[in-house]
């Protein structure tokens, strides 16, 4: 597993009958791969993981694996309440065809540092799949500290972090502490370019679900040293990227997917499509962006 590049945390598509919409899911999946995504992450927060049944997760992994046919790796997110359930899902994910895992800390229970490390190590020891730790203390109230990473990196298959602390200096702390032994991927859309320019290896992205080419272009330009060109796209992108740091990020991004023709608005209850003034506000952001959508350079040749 090469933890670098743009890795879309892809949305889960639903029909109006609240079943998996694998047809539209495939449309979006193909758009991500065509744009140059380096892996596909399934069942994340943006993928409405907490509402999916185990069978639906299996369907998503197996369908994605079949559609990609080895083009890029399939990564399964693990967000469970118990260590036992997390280990079972990790083992299931490998059986279904996943080639990597993204691990969140235990859900609901605010575990101690010792408990979080024990949880991650128990999962890591139960599988040989490569693992990326999702460090998001803002949303999940648990910070994975440098001291905790020192212990976690004793597990040979824990090799990456999705860095979502929203403290950009933490990238330098991690790099100073662990060098290239820990791959660092930015997990906050509004800090992505800054993170890449100070050494992040990749970007676990959200708005990529609606704008795959623009997202990959920013990454490619940044890594090629074409900072001016990357900034121009990034500044256009910023109002859209801010839709990702919002409690209704799923609804926001799915509305954007409608605008670009690679998704629908259908979400799973208790989520509901945006309503009233908030819908008008988000739709205006999307409309304004579509009206000024930039012409991209030939980023694929970089």
Backbone angles phi, psi at 179, to 5 degrees: 55, -135
**What pLDDT is attached to residue 269?**
96
Q: Residue 224 belongs to what domain range? A: 5-301
Cis preceding-peptide flag for 280 (omega within 30 of 0) = no
Phi, psi for 38 (deg, rounded to 5): -100, -10
SS3 79: coil
pTM score, whole prediction: 0.96
Give dist(CA 41, CA 204) in Å, integer.
8
> 74, 98 in Cβ contact below 8 A?
yes
What digits encode the pLDDT tens for the residues 5-40?
Answer: 999 999 999 999 999 999 999 999 999 999 999 999
Single out the residue of 7, 32, 14, 1 nearest to residue 204, CA to CA.
7
Q: List the CATH number of the domain containing 249.
A: 3.20.20.70
Give 44's DSSP letter: S
Sheet holding 183-186, edge to edge: 5-8, 202-205, 183-186, 158-163, 131-135, 100-103, 74-78, 40-42
Amino acid 108: pLDDT: 84
Q: In which residue ranges of the chain is pLDDT below 50?
A: none
Give residue 53's pLDDT: 96
- What does the alpha-carbon distance between residue 250 and residue 267 come to, in Å, rounded to a whole number? 8
Predicted pLDDT at 109: 87
Computed over its alpha carbons, how large is the radius of gyration of the chain?
18
- pLDDT given at position 207: 98
Longest dimension (CA), the chain: 51
The number of folded domains in the chain is 1
């Amino acid at each position: 597993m090469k933890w670098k590049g743009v890795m879309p945390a892809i949305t889960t598509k639903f029909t109006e009958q609240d079943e998996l919409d694998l047809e539209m899911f495939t449309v979006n999946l193909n758009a991500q791969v065509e744009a140059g995504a380096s892996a596909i992450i399934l069942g994340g927060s943006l993928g409405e993981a907490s509402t999916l049944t185990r069978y639906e997760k299996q369907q998503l992994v197996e369908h994605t694996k079949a559609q990609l046919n080895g083009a890029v790796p399939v990564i399964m997110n693990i967000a469970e309440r118990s260590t036992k359930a997390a280990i079972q899902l990790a083992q299931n994910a490998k059986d279904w065809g996943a080639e990597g895992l993204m691990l969140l800390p235990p859900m609901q229970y605010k575990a101690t540092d010792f408990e979080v490390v024990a949880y991650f190590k128990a999962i890591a020891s139960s599988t040989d799949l490569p693992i990326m730790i999702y460090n998001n203390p803002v949303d999940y109230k648990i910070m994975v500290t440098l001291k905790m990473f020192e212990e976690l990196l004793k597990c040979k298959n824990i090799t990456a972090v999705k860095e979502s602390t929203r403290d950009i200096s933490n990238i330098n702390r991690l790099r100073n502490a662990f060098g290239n032994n820990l791959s660092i991927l930015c997990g906050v859309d509004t800090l992505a370019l800054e993170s890449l320019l100070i050494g992040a290896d990749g970007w676990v992205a959200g708005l990529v679900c609606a704008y795959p080419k623009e997202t990959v272009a920013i990454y490619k330009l940044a890594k090629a040293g074409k900072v001016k060109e990357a900034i121009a796209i990034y500044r256009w992108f910023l109002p859209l990227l801010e839709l990702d740091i919002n409690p209704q990020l799923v609804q926001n991004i799915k509305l954007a997917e409608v605008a670009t023709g690679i998704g629908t608005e259908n979400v799973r209850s208790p989520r509901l499509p945006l309503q009233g003034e908030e819908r008008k506000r988000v739709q205006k952001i999307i409309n304004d962006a579509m009206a000024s959508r930039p012409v991209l350079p030939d980023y694929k040749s970089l």
